[in-house]
Structure 1
Amino acid sequence: MTSVISNASTTRNFPRFPPELWLSIFSLATNVPGLLSCDGPTPSDLPRPIVKENEQRLLRESLITKRNIILVCRTWHALATELLYRSVLVTRPATLSSLLVALDRRSSGAAHPAHVGWWTRRLDVLIQDDRCEASDYSLLANVIRRFPNLSIVTLSMPMLPYNDCWLRQLPTSVVMALAESCGPSLRVFDCSESILRPCRKDLMKLIAAAPNLSVLRCPICSPSAGDKFPSTRLDVPVMTNLLSVSLMSVFLRDYLPEDRDANHFPALRQLTYDCIPPPFLDHTWKNFVKLSCANVTTVHLDFPLQGDSLQKELDLLSECCRSLNDLVVYLRSWTEIKPNLSLPPSVSYLGLYSKLLKTPAFHFKQLFTALRTMSGSKLKTVRLLHADTVEDLQENWSLLANELADITSCITFRVEENEGHPLLT
């Protein structure tokens, strides 16, 4: 006798998978380590434009995965919507209007009683178009007002039509939307790569509204009429939680408090600054560094000048930054590293980056000569941060063998390639 087993008799009722586990799986699948941290991304020694490019790539990849997840079924859509809106990336003005419509529609839907913008922690507006219309910035301000819990904001904005190329002011409506909507939650504000930037008055209002700000990258403020009258300028708020700031020595005036002998950055631990003449070792800059950077442990120095004046910058850091441990210097090429440099005595790690992409052999020769004669009482590690350093060395190995042998025999510190592996063995 042949028994017939129907499909119905073999059907099994599997236990329902807990939604909490789905959420954990979705979170692991779309996680971008460090980019949603309240203290901002993990600090990198690479130049900021390179770091931003990598962050944008990771955010795009994560966003694609999130979109694929919510399209699987209604259940996954409902569970993963929070993850979808946790980080928002805008790269074209045309997406602003559709984003605003989506935010307003979802905020009133029965399935989503809470505004989905409530979940957003990071906003990157990285628009590469030559110009935006004034209406685009109004839309951006309205979008920002839907995000009350933003922690990280990165803006890279093109010019407004007919805007003064000298002023280059980010519309006040955008800055005020940040200050009024998410000031208390804001931890990172970055417009260091933007053509448009806040005027000083707007930036001071934003800082005052953001007492928990820990990372500030706005080295240049757009000039405004009020800057011509110091008596009407807003004073720099005391920023008790600011850990990292990016400055340009020649534009320091934007960050000077009324009391030039007061320290308004008491928690500062990381300083990034560009050396741009004229002069970058004047009394005001030196006094500011001495007052505000005494406890700084990390300095990133963008040095676009001839290497003959680099020692002056190192002397300034030696005198004013007694707690300095990590020093990173961005140079035009390895030829700007001169022999007999004296590092700040507290520095144990030195990162070096050459902006020249393809390094010829004679550049390496000058670099190795400089390393062989460099002095630093606590120096333990020198890392060459350019990703192609090893490849460039291999191509020129026959021309550099003697220099490599000389430096290996006389240096007391470790020389590393960009990933931290020994470069000289």
Structure 2
Amino acid sequence: VCKEWNAIATPLLYQNIVIGRGRQLPNISTILEVSHQTTDGFFSVGRWTKRLDIALRDSSRPVNEELAIIADIVRCLPNLEIVTFSVSSPQYSDDDTSPCLVLRALESTCASSLKYIHWFRDTLVPDPESLATLFRNSPNLRSFYTPLVPGVEECDDEFFHASLTTIHAEARILSYASPIPPHLMNLPSLRQMSFVVPLFGADPRWRSFLERHGSRLQRIQALIYPAGSHFQPDLAHIAASCHNLLRLDLAFSHWTHMPFPVTLPPTVEHLGIFCAQGQIANYQTFFSRLDRIEYGAKLRCIQFLGKRNVRDIFDKHLHQFWFGTRRLRGSGVRFMNHRGICIA
């Protein structure tokens, strides 16, 4: 029974490894290395791992030692597809701390299987040259995300990647910028993009990027903060460059942050709406703004992307929904829940 259970459970237990504390590193490394050595790598538990989340909140040893252990862990994971960095440990706040050891381990072990690599904090973000090397050696990469980082050294080389389909963008703020200059990117397979508003009206480098890649984009997600008035200039740039855009998703933190006025690009068929706020006492402001959006003849559906959003609106505020969407529904626009099921 134990052998059968082990055979069934092992692929699931090791599918996703999360490193949250520095003291966990030696144990994880030992388990993976022993399994790798005793099975010659063919039946090691590390071969089942598809995702590695490096989310250190504290450290128990010097940074260089921890990074060396993380690199050893990576070398035991030959089929990694997703790697994320979200390191908040104070020890890693030094700008000189480099993840080169980890990047080299990724390149030598799982570059061919790597599909997603995301940095969610401005710690352990590599320099542009190291990033470019990693991407050149990762032919199947689909998506990457890096935050703005301070003191980025400008590079002049074009950044080309044939398979990258998804990218995230934020406008330069003072000395904070993207490690890879957007106007130097050449991404022939790009199809999706997310960005923080404002972008194209605030950063000419990203405007140049949009002019170069806009015709390839089919889906765009806009992350909107309270200053939603900056969104319309971005939409104007999108409408001018993205002639094949089919889907636009709007994400905001509060229902009243729904931007107004909004004129959707005429090619948009699908509008997605997500709000981090799960519920609200009154949706009048939101539906009033939604009712007054200007849209093209191709708009077919509006989808609420958050499960909590759907539950609150349709369980507690159904009357406001029916009243606030009567014009849109009357023109043939369908409404869908987070699962893609038509609800109105």
TM range (shorter): 0.7 to 0.9
Give CA deviations for 1:109-166 in whole Å, capped at 9, x if unaligned: 2xx23352662451322535245641322211111122233222223222342733xx
Q: Would the alpha carbon gap of residues 358 and 168 (structure 1) be closer, same or farther in structure 2, given more than 3 Å must change?
A: farther
Q: Is the 8 A contact 1:340 1:374 kept in 2?
A: yes
Give CA deviations for 1:350-392 in whole Å, capped at 9, x if unaligned: 111223333231xx21222222222222111111223233443
Q: Would the alpha carbon gap of residues 168 and 313 (structure 1) be closer, same or farther in structure 2, given more than 3 Å must change?
A: farther
Q: Which residue of 1 aligns with 2:190?
A: 268
Unaligned runs of 5+ in 1: 1-71
Q: Is the 8 A contact 1:200 1:223 kept in 2?
A: no
Q: Is the 8 A contact 1:169 1:223 kept in 2?
A: no
Q: Would the alpha carbon gap of residues 234 and 203 (structure 1) be closer, same or farther in structure 2, given more than 3 Å must change?
A: farther
* 1:367 is aligned to 2:292: no
Q: Is the 8 A contact 1:372 1:410 kept in 2?
A: no
* 1:386 is aligned to 2:309: no
Give CA deviations for 1:250-308 in whole Å, capped at 9, x if unaligned: 26653327xx4x6511110010111257x843432211111023211111111114222
Q: Is the 8 A contact 2:21 2:59 kept in 1?
A: no
Instruction: Tell me the amino acid that sits aligned with residue 52 of structure 2.
Output: D
Q: Which residue of 1 aligns with 2:112?
A: 184
Shift of residue 345 of structure 1? 0.8
* 1:255 is aligned to 2:180: yes
RMSD: 3.1
Q: Which residue of 2 aligns with 1:241?
A: 163
Q: Would the alpha carbon gap of residues 349 and 123 (structure 1) be closer, same or farther in structure 2, given more than 3 Å must change?
A: same
Give CA deviations for 1:209-268 in whole Å, capped at 9, x if unaligned: 212211112243x445xx44x4xx3735310010111221326653327xx4x6511110
Q: Is the 8 A contact 2:224 2:251 kept in 1?
A: yes
Question: Paired residue for 2:100, among 158, 162, 172?
Answer: 172
* 1:295 is aligned to 2:216: yes
Q: Is the 8 A contact 1:343 1:375 kept in 2?
A: yes
Give CA deviations for 1:31-80 in whole Å, capped at 9, x if unaligned: xxxxxxxxxxxxxxxxxxxxxxxxxxxxxxxxxxxxxxxxx423554676
Q: Which residue of 1 aligns with 2:204?
A: 283
Q: Would the alpha carbon gap of residues 265 and 409 (structure 1) be closer, same or farther in structure 2, given more than 3 Å must change?
A: closer
CA distance in 1, matches of 2:321, 2:249: 27
Unaligned runs of 5+ in 2: none
Instruction: Tell me the amino acid that sits aligned with residue 254 of structure 1.
Output: P
Q: Would the alpha carbon gap of residues 77 and 194 (structure 1) be closer, same or farther in structure 2, given more than 3 Å must change?
A: farther
Instruction: Tell me the amino acid that sits aligned with residue 25 of structure 2.
Output: L
CA distance in 2, matches of 1:339, 1:86: 44
CA distance in 2, matches of 1:284, 1:197: 21
Q: Which residue of 1 aligns with 2:255?
A: 334
Q: Which residue of 2 aligns with 1:213?
A: 141
CA distance in 2, matches of 1:312, 1:191: 28
The worse-fitting range, judged by mean Cα deviation, of 336-345 and 290-299 is: 336-345
**Identity rate, percent:** 22
Q: Which residue of 2 aligns with 1:106?
A: 35
Q: How does 1:339-358 map to 2 (within 5 A)?
A: 339-358=260-279
Instruction: Tell me the amino acid that sits aligned with residue 275 of structure 1.
Output: V
Q: Which residue of 2 aligns with 1:153?
A: 83
Q: How does 1:28-39 map to 2 (within 5 A)?
A: none
Instruction: Tell me the amino acid that sits aligned with residue 133 of structure 2.
Output: K
CA distance in 2, matches of 1:271, 1:349: 15
Partner-residue secondary structure (3-state), 2:193? strand
Q: Is the 8 A contact 1:348 1:379 kept in 2?
A: yes
Question: Paired residue for 1:91, among 20, 28, 51?
Answer: 20
TM-score of the two chains, using structure 1 as the length reference: 0.69
CA distance in 2, matches of 1:76, 1:190: 34
The worse-fitting range, judged by mean Cα deviation, of 186-195 and 318-327 is: 186-195
* 1:204 is aligned to 2:132: yes
* 1:320 is aligned to 2:241: yes
Give CA deviations for 1:158-181 in whole Å, capped at 9, x if unaligned: 2342733xx385532222222233
Q: How many residues get paired?
A: 336
Partner-residue secondary structure (3-state), 1:175? helix
CA distance in 2, matches of 1:359, 1:297: 32
Shift of residue 207 of structure 1? 1.4
Q: Is the 8 A contact 2:122 2:147 kept in 1?
A: no
CA distance in 2, matches of 1:339, 1:236: 38
Shift of residue 401 of structure 1? 7.6
Shift of residue 348 of structure 1? 0.6
Q: Which residue of 1 aligns with 2:295?
A: 376
Q: Would the alpha carbon gap of residues 411 and 126 (structure 1) be closer, same or farther in structure 2, given more than 3 Å must change?
A: farther
Partner-residue secondary structure (3-state), 2:323? helix
Q: Would the alpha carbon gap of residues 144 and 297 (structure 1) be closer, same or farther in structure 2, given more than 3 Å must change?
A: same
